[in-house]
Amino acid sequence: MTPKKTLADALHFLAVNRKLGKDMQYLHVRLSPDLPESAMDAIAEIAKTKFGKDDHQVFRFAPHNELLITTHTRLRPMLTDTDRAITEAYPGGASRIMANDLGEDGLGLLIRVLGKLIGENDRLLQMAHKRLARTSNVIIVLDDDPIILRTCEKILKMFGDVHVVDTPEKFFEIYEDVAPNIAFIDIHLRGYKGPPIVKVAREKFDPHIHAVLISSDTAKETVMSIKDSGAAGFIVKPFSRDTLFQHLLNAPTFVSKGI
């Protein structure tokens, strides 16, 4: 059974796909609190019959009785039909909050509306929303070698706001505060290992962390620990500007505008 997509999934999806801009569109629907939760399943089925399985996404914001349907703008007539079918199926029980494309204005409006659904103590959603709401990149580098930190900061500052830290404690504190698009993490830190740091970040507050581990150690055990951590990549020291840039481009939420 396919897992139901939530508000957290929607925020990440929008951040990843913002580069498509006006090629994407959305329909945001609110249901009456009197309707059962099964109404969300029914609306998802309505969308499925209109679009087919792979031509759309449905995100459910269950506590708020809201759904978000996204699709390509070439399928605009199908989205209009879906809107009409929902209204007919639930007259007076379902209302359109808004329908728009994901260009700058449409996405900006959606970001503001979704932000109102997020509790002030929900760290995961706050971080995902922060990453989506900004139009520039934030990069964090964790290494206990000051030369590596200075080198990375010098190379990466042209691509976004760079935070360099030399301890895991500082890394976690700043990471949670800035919600970076990408993290570069040294594998061998004094008293720590890079792969477990990635796991902790993913499990505690950012399931969508995009981390690239860096090291001069290419032993088999090291490579296996990288794979087990779920890191997105590995850079061997010494590295070049082009190598760092390539990993930036591979980060799903990296904003390449103006670069």
pLDDT, tens only, 192-228: 766 788 989 998 889 999 999 998 776 667 667 777 7
Q: What's the predicted TM-score (pTM) here?
A: 0.90
Q: 138-250 has which CATH code?
A: 3.40.50.2300
Q: For the domain 7-133, what is the CATH code?
A: 3.30.70.100
Per-residue pLDDT reduced to its tens digit, 42-94: 999 999 999 987 899 999 998 899 999 999 999 999 999 999 999 999 998 99
Please say whether the dihedral angle defined by the alpha carbons of residues 229, 175, 234 and 251, taken in this order, is positive or negative: positive
Instruction: Collapse the DSSP code of 164 into the 3-class scheme (helix H, G, I; strand E, B; otherwise coil) and give the result.
Output: strand
Residue 25: strand pairing partners: 71, 101
Question: Predicted confidence band at 258 (pLDDT cuts at 50, 70, 90)?
Answer: very low
Of the pLDDT bands very low, low, confident and very high (cuts 50, 70, 90), residue 118 is: very high
Q: Where are the domains of the chain?
A: 7-133, 138-250
From residue 159, alpha-carbon distances to 11, 135, 152, 182, 250 in Å are 22, 12, 11, 11, 13
The rounded distance, in Å, linking the Cα atoms of 199 and 207 is 9
Query: What residue type is 138 in one-letter code?
Result: V
